[in-house]
Amino acid sequence: MSVPDCGILQGFPEYWQFSGAVYQALGQIGNAVPPPMAYQVAVSISQVFS
């Protein structure tokens, strides 16, 4: 799988750019909190404080 394919599976938008060599980009993707999950956590926290 390519770096963009892995990013899309992880939840990153198609336009997102990863920097560095392939192994570094895959490390960035693997170590990241998936953006859709981060969004839902932020929404939940916001609802608690509202």
Structural domain count of the chain = 1
User: In angstroms, rounded to a whole number, what is the distance separating the alpha carbons of residues 33 and 39?
Assistant: 10
pLDDT at 2: 96
Q: How far apart are CA 35 and CA 11, in angstroms?
A: 6
Reported as a pLDDT band with limits 50, 70 and 90, residue 50 is confident
Task: Look at the pTM and tell me if it is higher than 0.75.
Answer: yes
Reported as a single tens digit per residue, the pLDDT across 3-31 is 999 999 999 999 999 999 999 999 999 99
pLDDT of residue 8: 96
For residue 33, is pLDDT > 90? yes
Q: Which domain holds residue 29?
A: 3-49
